[in-house]
Structure 1
Amino acid sequence: MPVLAFLARRVGAAILLLGVLSVLTFCLLAAAPGSPEQVLLGSKPSTPETRAAIRAEFMLDRPLVVRYGHWLSGAIQGEFGNSVYSREPVSSVIGERLPVTAGLAGYAIVLTLVVAIPAGLVAGMRGGSGLDQGITSVSLVATSVPSYALGILLLYGFAVALGWFPMYGSGDLAHLTLPAVALATGQTAYVVRQTRAAALDLANQDYLTFARARGLGRRRIWVSYALRNASLPVLTIGGLLLAANLTGAVFVEQVFSLPGLGSLLIQSVGQKDIPVVQALVLLGGAVVVGVNLLVDLAYLAVDARVRHGVIEA
C-alpha cells in the first residue's frame, strides 16, 4: 500500500508540525508582557486576593509545562478553555466568526480561479502577442496594488458613490462581494502568471505537437491536454492562496468591518486573550497543513507521474 504509506507520512509530519507550532505559540504568549488579570481588571482597584483568584482560574499560577499539558489535553478533545475577555467557550467564540471568514475565502478563491485560469491559458496560447502582453501588464498592475488599498477604493466607488453594495458588515453574498474582489485581485495576478508560465512550457511538448498533427482543434488540445498537465503549479498556488485567505485576510476584514477570524485575532491580541489567540494560531496551522495535504492528494488524482513515483517509492 504505497499510497497509504505516503499518506501516513504526510499525516505524521502534519501532526508533528502542529505540535511544534503549539509549543512555540504557548511559550511566546507566556513570555509576552501583560497578563489576563490586568485586562479583566483594567483601571479598577483590586486586591491581591482578586488577582490571585483570576490567576488561579486561568492556571497562571502553575508552571508553564503544567499549563501547556492541561491545554494540550483539552485541545486534543476540542476544548480550548474559555475566553478571558467574554468568559465564553473559545470554540463558541471562533465558531461565530468562522462562517464569515470561510465564506470570504471560498468566494475569493472561486473568483480567482474562474478568471485566472482562462486568462493564463489564453496568454500562454498566444505567447508574445498583444493579448498576451495586455494580460501580463494587467497582472503586473494587480500584483502591485495592496488588497486593503484596493478595498478602500472599491468601498468608496461601489458602496459610497454608486450605492450598489453594502458599506460594511456581513450578511448575504452582496456583503462579501467587494471584500472578495479586493482579496482576489492580487491573487488572480499570481495564478495568471503561473498558468501562463506552465502553458508556455507545454506549448512545444511532443504530445501537443502530435495532437496538432492528428487534426485536433486548438480548444480541445489546450483544455484536454495542456490544462491537465499545467494544473500542478496551479494546484500548488491555489492551495496556498486558499490557506492564506482563511488565515490572513486580516486587512480586508478590517476595511469592510467583517466580523471574521482576522478581526477576532487583532481584538484578542489587544485584549491579551491568550486562550483565543492560541486556538486561532493552532487553527491557522491546521488549515495550512490540511490544505497542503489536500493538494498532495490532488496531485495523485491529476498526474499519473506523481502516482507512479509514489508507488515506486
Structure 2
Amino acid sequence: MTTAVQAPTAAGAPGPAPGKRAKVRARGPAVFILQKLAVLAATLFVASLAVFFSRFLVPGDPARFLLRGRSPNPDALAEITRQYGLDKPAWEQYLNWITGIFQGDWGRSLTYRQDVTEVLLSRLPTTLQLVALAAVFITVLGLLAGILASLNKGFGDKFILITLTAAGAVPPFVAAIALVALFSVGLGWFPSFGSGDAGWDRIWHLTLPAFALGITYIAMVARVTRSSMNEQLVREHVEVATSRGLNRGAVVLRHVLRNALGPILTVSGVLVAGLLVSSAIIERTFGLAGIGQLLVTSIDRLDFAVVQAIVMVVVAAFVLVNTLVDLIQPLIDPRIAAGTETR
C-alpha cells in the first residue's frame, strides 16, 4: 500500500523540524543563460570604467611624451592635446572611447602614430596562436598526467605527483631558458627565436614557447584532475558499476571522469584565460611580436590608448572564457542549469 504524505495546511499543525525543511526552486536553461550574459555585460562595463579612468592615476603626460624630451612648446602641447582629445572632460573622453570600441575604433597610438586597431591586429595573431598551442598542451598533458596518477596508486602516483610539484614550481622564464638550452642549443630540434612563417613552420617555432608558457598550468590541471578523480573513485555508484562487471575503461570514462570534469573544467578555463597575461615574459624571451611584448613597451612609453586596448582585450577574453565554462557546465551536470537550491 502506498501512503501519500502531504504537508499540513492547518494553522498550528506540526511541520518539519527546523533545518529539515527544503525548498527546491528550478529555473529554465534560458533564464540560466540570460543571467550569465547579464553578469558578463556588467563585468565588462565595470572593467571598462576601471581600465579607462585608471590612466588618470598614472603620473606623466602623454602629450609631453610625444615631444621626446624636447622643450615643451605651449602651442605644440595644445595641438597634441586637441588632436588626441585630451582636452575634453574625462567623462566625455570615456564616452568617445567606449563608443569607438563598439565601432571598431580603439583610438590612435601615441607611439606608432597608427590606429590602435591596426597595431593590435598586427600582433594579436601571434599571441592567440601561442596561447592556443599552450592551451592544447595544458589540456592534453594535464588531463593525462592527472588520470594516470589517479589510476596508478603507489609508485606511479608518487612519481607523477613529485614531478608535477617540481614542474609547478618552475617560473616560465626559467623553463624557457632550460628548454632553449636543451632542445635548441643542445639537440637543435626547435628554433629559439622568432615566430616563423605560416602553417607548420609557425607551430614548430611556437612549440617551445607554448610549452614554457603552459608548464606551470599543466601541473595545476593535473593535480586538480587527480584530486577530483580520487574523490569520484570512492563514490557508491562507481563501486556499483564495478561490481556489475563493467569494463574498467568504461567505468572510468562514464562514471569517474565525466563526474570529475566539473572542477577540472572550471580550473582549466581560468588558467587558459590567464595565459594572455603570462605571455609577455615568454614573448620577450623568444622574440615573439605579440601583444604581451607590445603591452610592456606601451606601458614604458605611456601609450595609454594601446595599453587600454590590450587590457580590455585580456579582460574580455578572461570573462568570456569563464562565461563559456559556466555555460558548458550544465551539459555535464544538468542540475546546474536547473538551479536547484536548498533552503
Q: TM tier, shorter chain?
A: over 0.9
**Which residue type is aligned with residue 189 of structure 1?**
A
1:295 to 2:325 alignment: yes
The equivalent residue for 1:104 is 130
Deviations 1:238-268 (A, max 9, x none): 1111101123311111111111111010011
Alignment pair present for 1:144 and 2:174: no
Q: 1:307: which partner in 2?
A: 337
Query: Which amino acid in 2 is paired with 1:130?
Result: F
Is residue 218 of structure 1 aligned with residue 248 of structure 2? yes
Give the match's secondary structure for 2:91: helix
Cα distance in structure 1, aligned partners of 2:161 and 2:44: 38
Please give the residue correspondences for 1:252-271 in structure 2 after superposition, counting only pairs within 5 Å.
252-271=282-301
Higher mean alpha-carbon deviation, 33-42 vs 264-273, is at 33-42
In the other structure, the counterpart of 1:160 is 185
Alignment match, 2:212: 182
CA distance, structure 2, for counterparts of residue 123 and residue 165 of structure 1: 30
The answer as to whether partners of 2:213 and 2:278 remain within 8 angstroms in 1 is no
- Could you tell me how far apart the structure 1 residues matched to 2:240 and 2:340 are? 28
- The amino acid of 2:142's aligned partner reads A
Distance 2:55 2:180 in 1: 35
Deviates more, 1:18-27 or 1:43-52: 43-52
Mapped contact 1:2–1:310 kept (Cα < 8 A) = no
Which letter maps to 1:7?
I
Counterpart contact for 1:3–1:311, Cα < 8 Å: no
Instruction: Give 1:310 shift.
Output: 6.3
Residues in 2 aligned to 1:311 and 1:198: alpha-carbon distance in whole angstroms: 23
Alignment check: 8 A CA contact 1:125 1:203 kept: no
| Structure 1 CA distance for aligned equivalents of residues 340 and 295 of structure 2 | 39
Distance 1:245 1:228 in 2: 25
Give structure 1 stretches of 5+ with no counterpart: none
Q: Which residue of 1 aligns with 2:43?
A: 17
User: Greater CA deviation, 102-111 or 70-79?
Assistant: 70-79
**Aligned equivalents of 1:307, 1:154: Cα separation in 2:** 44
How do 1:89-128 and structure 2 match up within 5 A? 89-127=115-153
Within 5 A, what are the aligned runs for 1:181-200?
181-200=211-230
Instruction: Please say if 1:40 is aligned against 2:62.
Output: no
Q: Does 1:75 align with 2:110?
A: no
**Secondary structure in structure 2 of the residue aligned to 1:222:** helix
Partner of 2:11: none
Q: CA–CA distance in 2 between the matches of 1:231 and 1:2?
A: 22
CA drift of 1:48 comes to 1.1
Q: Which is worse superposed, 41-50 or 23-32?
A: 41-50
Preserved CA contact (<8 Å) 1:6 1:310: no
| Kept in 2: contact 1:2–1:311 (CA 8 A) | no
For 1:254, the aligned partner's letter is R
Q: Percent identity?
A: 35
Does the CA contact (< 8 Å) of 2:270 and 2:318 recur in 1? yes
- How far apart are 1:147 and its partner, in Å? 0.8
Rg larger in structure = 2
Select the residue among 274, 279, 289 that pairs with 2:309. 279
Are positions 1:135 and 2:165 aligned together? no
Q: Which runs of 5+ in 2 are unaligned?
A: 1-26, 197-201
CA RMSD of aligned residues (A): 1.8
Q: SS in structure 1 opposite 2:262?
A: helix
- For each residue in 1:149-203, what CA deviation from the matched residue of structure 2 results, as whole angstroms up to 9, or x when unmatched? 1101111222223322112111211110001111121111101110110111011
